[in-house]
Amino acid sequence: MSNPWDERYSAAEYVYGTEPNDYLREQMHRIAPGGRVLCIADGEGRNGVYLAEHGFDVTSVDASRVGLDKANALAAAQKVSITTVHADLADFDFGIAQWDAIVSIFCHLPPDLRTRIHAAITASLRRGGIVILEAYTVDQLAHKTGGPPVPELMMSEEQLRHDFTLLHVIACDERTRMIHEGTLHNGMSAAVQLVAQRKD
């Protein structure tokens, strides 16, 4: 396999588990009931399927076909459906005013692409739409409990507040917390968490 994410997801197990991200679980109540939600870099689908179980209209986009196949299998096992889109985020069309929420959980991108994707997220939210994001900070490099070992791919509160300056930031904080998500995110971790809303 040439795609490293296909290789990672080719394991029989769900390498990040089948339970949703804790921060998403905490913040889900902010999304309009039955809303249209985009989960970017949704991998094996744990977050998208969780949202579908709670009545949201979910689209999961990821660069790995293997991951999306597992996402669809997980959805079927939970007797829900999600729309899966195989695409590189660099080429994905987010649209304009399309989504009631966009979920970005540990989606680590090169700085230039990250800025472009965050701008696309802002533009593609409907009025009142929410972005829910969690990512590792550079302090995570010392913990070695998950995430890419590349400082440039990490995020910070300062960066996120800059990227989402056109949104109303409800919460944006760096924190150290215990994360247990499958075998690849496991242990004390340094993360930044964001919830922001499009008001205009």
Cα distances (Å, whole numbers) of residue 25 to 28, 30, 62, 101, 133: 5, 10, 21, 14, 12
More confident residue, 200 or 139: 139
The model's pTM is 0.97
Q: What percent of the chain has pLDDT over 70?
A: 99
- According to the CATH classification, is domain 4-197 in 3.40.430.10? no
∠ Cα 147 115 86 (to 5°): 65
pLDDT category, 200, cuts 50, 70, 90?
confident
Q: Give the mean pLDDT of 98-102.
A: 98
How does pLDDT run across 27-79, given as a tens digit for each residue? 999 999 999 999 999 999 999 999 999 999 999 999 999 999 999 999 999 99
Q: List the chain domain ranges.
A: 4-197
